[in-house]
Amino acid sequence: MEKPPARKVLLDDTVPLTAAVEASQSLQSHTEYIIRVQRGISAENSWQIVRRYSDFDLLNNSLQITGLSLPLPPKKLIGNMDREFIAERQKGLQNYLNVIMANHVLSNCELLKKFLDPNNYSANYTGCPVFALCHPHGRGDGCDQRIRSLESPSGS
């Protein structure tokens, strides 16, 4: 007997996401940040995700195509397990998310949505539509060349 197809829940992708870094937990070799994400105003549409600093760093590297200076807290190799440092980094990561979420283009980027809502976005998605990240009227700063290099299969 065949199983009926899984019922898909429709997702209104126009409803904005919000994100709050609620807590952190230190493990042996790294710290995890617990983030409460909410779609729209209803608390019923909220969930928690866990991200490491390295996850934020990967997101930030992917968003560099924008040319925007995003306030990701700096890396720290020694002393990064110190409680005061972790508390400051948590504040910095919240500020980083706030800046991204306040930017209309970045807040609608599928890469950010995948970062915040991995269950509803394809695991195979690897980036933003880079054409949407550059100035809409062109800036003459090599943006078109960066787009072509990112869109080509070899990445060059």
How does pLDDT run across 62-118, given as a tens digit for each residue? 998 888 889 999 998 888 899 999 999 999 999 999 999 999 889 988 889 999 999
- In sign, the C-alpha dihedral spanning 99, 104, 106, 110 is positive
DSSP 11-57: --TTSPEEEEEEEEEE-SS-EEEEEEEEESS-GGGEEEEEEEHHHHH
For residue 137, the model assigns a pLDDT of 39
- Average pLDDT of the residues of the chain: 80
Domains along the sequence of the chain with CATH = 17-123 (3.30.1520.10)
CA distance 96 to 55: 13
User: How far apart are the two ends of the chain, measured CA to CA in Å?
Assistant: 49
Least confident of 30-34, 61-65, 126-130: 126-130
